[in-house]
Amino acid sequence: MNIGAAAEQSNLPPKTIRYYEDIELVRPARSENGYRDYSETDVHRLKFLQRARSLGFTIDECRLLLSLYEDEHRASADVKAIALAKIEEIDRKLIELQSLRATLTNLAGNCHGDDKPNCPIIDDLAGDK
């Protein structure tokens, strides 16, 4: 199938699919005229990548997950370790976002929001606090 059909089936834009080909995450066959020819296996890999990326896995993590997916002798513990590491990363980001939210809430709460130029938000951003 052509890239348009592969894009539709995998829910990925053609540009992303071409990128995945450039970095060798997917390797479609080429027809005699040089056009990409995606197989059902290629589309399955693209769907796998789309789902993994939507869960926050990096390209390198996706590459590792794909290699584990294709390894019939993989240990599920290896896959679980990758998922647990991603959860730890998400938890760290959540803590950071909560801290950012608290800081911004405090700054917004201290800003009068009137027509005067004094603003603790600007002061904080400028380091004039």
Q: Does the domain spanning 3-126 belong to CATH 2.60.40.10?
A: no
Q: In the predicted model, what is the mean pLDDT of the chain?
A: 95
pLDDT (0 to 100) of residue 32: 87
pLDDT (0 to 100) of residue 6: 97
pLDDT tens digits, residue range 9-25? Answer: 999 999 999 999 999 99
Q: Under the phi-then-psi rule, with left for phi > 0, alpha for psi from -120 to 50, and beta for the rest, what region is 24?
A: left
pLDDT tens digits, residue range 29-58? Answer: 998 888 899 999 999 999 999 999 999 999
pLDDT tens digits, residue range 66-108? Answer: 999 999 999 999 999 999 999 999 999 999 999 999 999 999 9
